[in-house]
Structures are given as C-alpha cells and as structure tokens.
Amino acid sequence: MDSGRLFFDPSCYGNMVLIGNGDPVFSGARSLLNMEETSKRRHFFSSPNELFDEEYYDEQLPEKKRRLTPEQIDLLEKSFETENKLGPEHKTQLAKKLGLQPRQVAVWFQNRRARWKTKQLERDYDLLKSSYDSLLSDYESIIKENQMLISEVISLTEKLQAKEVSGVAVMVAHKTDAVLPVNEADVLAVQVSAKAEDHLSSGSAGSAVVDDGPQLVDSGDSYFLDSDYRGCMSHIEGIHLEEEDGSDDCRCYFPDAFAAAEQQFHEEEESLDWWVWS
DNA sequence: TTGTGTTTTATTGCCTCC
DNA sequence: GGAGGCAATAAAACACAA
C-alpha cells in the first residue's frame, strides 16, 4: 500500500479542511459547536507537491490522524445500535450532524462492523468452549461409571465361577443318585442376569451409561469422542476375560461379558445333560 | 522518558450486486 | 461499470510498564 497518499489523496481528502489554528475540522466538539468557522477552513493539501514544500511545512504542518471526540463516538455508537449499515441519506445526515466527511462516517461504520465481528467471534468461541468443557466432564463421569459397572460384572462372574465349581463337586458326590446340579447353575445364572438387567433397565445411572454412551458418540457435536470412546473402552482391564471369539474391536463392554457368561452356562448345561443322561 | 503493545482511523484491492 | 462491503494492512494515537 502506498501510504504516502494518505493525506493528500484528492478523492478522499479534497474536502478535508483545517480551521484557522490548524486543528482539523473533525478533531473535536469544536467542529460541532463552531460550525461557523467553516469560513476559516481551507483544503488540507491542494496538491501532492505541497507535501514536499518546506515553506508549507513551516506555516502548516501536515495534518495528523485525529481521534473522534467522545460526543462524536457516542452519536455514532447510537446510530450503529439502530442499524449497523448506513444508507446514503443517513450517512450524509450523520456526517452533517457530526461535522465529519461522509467518507469518515462510512469508514467508522466499516471499522465498527469489523470490531463487532471480532467480538462476536470471541463470544462464539467462549460459548463453544464452555459447551465442550461440559461435554467433556459428562464424558469423563460416564467413563468412570462404566468402569465401576465393569468391575461389578467381573466380580459377579468370578462368584459365579466359584459357585459353579462347588456345584460340580456336589454333582460328583451325588453322581450315583442322578442329582441334577445343573439346576443350581441355572438358578445362579438367572440371578446374575436379573441383576444385570436391573442395572440396565432401572432408572439408575447404570442405564444412563449404557443408553447415553452411544448418543454421545453419534451426536455429531464432537468429532473426537467416537475414537476416544472406543479407545477408552479398549483399555478397560478384564473386558476380554469372557470373550471366546478372540475379537478385539474394543466394542465389547459388559453386555458382551454377560453374554459370554451365559453362553458358558449353556455349554456347561449341555455337557452336564450329556453327563447325566449318558 | 522510552520502548512496546493495543486501539483507532484510514487506504487499498478485490468482490458482489444492481 | 459504479457503489458499497469486506479483509488486510499501514500508521497515528494512546496506554502502560520499566
């Protein structure tokens, strides 16, 4: 950009004027209060050559950028609140009121819109950030809850296995009497299933975990939760204990563990049936 | 006082709309 | 093609710490 043109571009500053003492017309309330001084004004630069004219500098320093007065800014702000874009008439009217060039008013509005846009972006960012923080917090609590539930499943499964071992012992002891220890195992399986279903279907946090997890992932509000969620699940210890398919897709959290446990019961039931009836 | 960062005023060039 | 808007930028004015 050729900034040297800044103060003597006739297209922009042909009407830029100075009052007798060198103050610019837009330099303050004076321009609003003493409009009659217009007669003392003269063009800022009549030609670019004046910029290099030493005599000119001696008697007239080049005009400097001046800030608008609080009064001018106040009126401009009020106008901006009403409408953030200026029609030609409104611009001229406002310029007269303020003692400014219409171009200055237009520039002020343009810059004001740019500032507003920046602020708006900041507000949007803050909003998104707080939303993200809230989601992250929810996500972390869900993960904790999930880990707790998985621990519970593992503990119950271990108890079940212990029961099963003692059941087999009983069965061996009563083999000749054809006692059917499979019933005991079934009862235990039903108890475990009932407990699991209780977690899943009751209004407890447990159901929220199972129901809300995938929603969080699929919500579309976050691009990263899906992979993170799976990644987290894959790191939960013990999750593969009951897996029989050897899969490692990290999707098999505790419902799969129950399924595996139940499958184990059924397999053992079959073997016991075979053992009993043979 | 001075160096430095921020804000404000203004220009330039490009784009869109009528 | 002219008017007006916007993004990028320059530069003056201002704020403030050292």
Is position A76 within any domain?
yes
Is position A105 within any domain?
yes
Between A57-71, A89-103, A152-166, A249-263, the lowest mean confidence (pLDDT) is in A249-263
Res A182 pLDDT > 50 = no
Is position A133 within any domain?
yes
- What's the CA A41/C1' B11 distance, rounded, in angstroms? 24
A95 neighbors A105 (Cβ within 8 angstroms): yes
Res A20 pLDDT > 50 = no
A259 CB below 7 A from strand B atoms: no
pLDDT band of residue A177 (cuts 50, 70, 90) is low
Q: Which nucleotide is nearest to A106 (CA to C1')?
A: C4
pLDDT band of residue A51 (cuts 50, 70, 90) is very low
- On the CB side of A68, CA atoms within 13 Å amount to 19
pLDDT higher at A248 or A187: A187
What pTM was estimated for this model as a whole? 0.49
CATH code of the domain covering residue A160 = 1.10.10.60
Is position A85 within any domain?
yes
Strand C interface, protein residues by Cβ within 7 Å: A 1, 3-4, 6, 64-67, 85-86, 88, 106, 109-110, 113-114, 117
- What are the tokens at A63? 């005009």
- What's the CA A68/C1' C7 distance, rounded, in angstroms? 24
- What's the CA A87/C1' C3 distance, rounded, in angstroms? 12
Between A107-116, A211-220, A251-260, the lowest mean confidence (pLDDT) is in A211-220
Is position A135 within any domain?
yes
Range of the domain at A136: 70-166
- What's the CA A65/C1' C11 distance, rounded, in angstroms? 9
Is position A79 within any domain?
yes
- What's the CA A94/C1' C4 distance, rounded, in angstroms? 17
A112 neighbors A104 (Cβ within 8 angstroms): no
Res A107 pLDDT > 90 = yes
pLDDT tens per residue, range A230-249: 333 333 333 333 333 333 33
- What's the CA A67/C1' C16 distance, rounded, in angstroms? 19
A115 CB below 7 A from strand B atoms: yes
The contacts of residue A126 (CB under 8 Å, 6+ apart) are none
Res A53 pLDDT > 50 = no
A153 neighbors A257 (Cβ within 8 angstroms): yes
Is position A121 within any domain?
yes
A13 CB below 7 A from strand B atoms: yes
pLDDT at A235: 33
Is position A185 within any domain?
no
- What's the CA A90/C1' C15 distance, rounded, in angstroms? 34
Number of domains in chain A: 1
A80 CB below 7 A from strand B atoms: no
pLDDT at A267: 52
Which residue minimizes Cα–C1' distance to C14? Answer: A67
CA distances in angstroms from A42 to A13, A34, A57, A120, A268, listed in the order given: 11, 15, 15, 41, 106
A42 neighbors A71 (Cβ within 8 angstroms): no
